[in-house]
Copies of this chain bind each other. A is one copy, B any other.
Amino acid sequence: MVIYEDLAETIKSGKWRPNTKLPSENELVAHYETSRETIRKALNLLSQNGYIQKMKGKGSFVLDVSRFDFPISGLVSFKEVAEKLGHDSKTIVEELELIKPNEEIRTRLNISHKDSVWKVIRSREINGERIILDKDFFNRKYVSHLTRDICEGSIYEYLEKEVGLKISFAKKEISVDELTEEDHRYLDLKEYDHVVVVRNYVYLEDASLFQYTESRHRLDKFRFVEFARRGV
């Protein structure tokens, strides 16, 4: 939605300070030359995403977004986050192969032993330390082709732009697990004896499960931020 983007951009740019009042819905209707429902849909999105607070009888007010820094919320990829933070980051493709899934992966991807699966293991280096280990498993039915080159960049970008897959939603699970032999091999662990594990089940537009990802973070470098509205 173009109106949402426009308003969000104005707020993010700081042109409207926190706690100031937005133009009223009727004023926005006049400004964008559209209907009130359309304006309201844009404002509701802003509200959901923590940009504004709407108050009946009073108006809509800008929230202090600067405090909601660096959301790993949603489905943003490592590359996007690293770029946003301006960190020196590097991706190392440790393993890339087409496998017959074992039982764990079959269960997680909800497939049979006849299917084959792309297995990608990448470590992520930030400021010279390997602190994240990403293990991706793609159902081959949806991803026929994968190369080292692609894995070194953003797989998501490739899948969305080149393959044309439409990623729709995901279920995320965060927990803390004990170290595996792989963690030892591919991460600079220091003295820590656990990792934070983010498990992600990713679905396409037609609700088919096409990817399972395990993102293993060194304890001290993990951070997750979320904005949540009550009741929704």
Contacts and interface: CB of A to CB of B under 8 A. Distances in A.
Contact of A171 (B19, B207, B225): B225
Contacts of A37: 37
A63 B224 contact: no
A3 interface: no
A172 interface: yes
Interface of A: 19, 37, 45, 48-50, 53, 55, 61, 63, 67-68, 73-75, 167-176, 192, 194, 196, 201, 205-207, 219-220, 222-232
Given A61-B207, A194-B194, A207-B61, A75 B170 contact: no
Contact of A167 (B75, B173, B224, B230): B230
A19 B207 CA distance: 9
Contact of A170 (B53, B168, B222, B228): B228
A135 to B, nearest CB: 19
Given A55-B205, A194-B194, A230 B172 contact: no
A75 B53 CA distance: 17
Contacts of A171: 50, 67-68, 225-228
24 contacts: A37-B37, A53-B207, A55-B205, A63-B207, A73-B228, A74-B228, A74-B229, A74-B231, A167-B230, A168-B230, A169-B229, A171-B227, A172-B225, A172-B228, A173-B224, A174-B174, A174-B224, A174-B225, A175-B222, A175-B224, A176-B219, A192-B194, A194-B194, A226-B226
B55 A206 contact: yes
Nearest to A75: B230
A75 B228 CA distance: 7
Contacts of A175: 222-224
Nearest to A192: B194
Closest 9 CB pairs of A and B: A174-B224, A53-B207, A176-B219, A172-B226, A169-B229, A74-B228, A175-B223, A167-B230, A75-B230
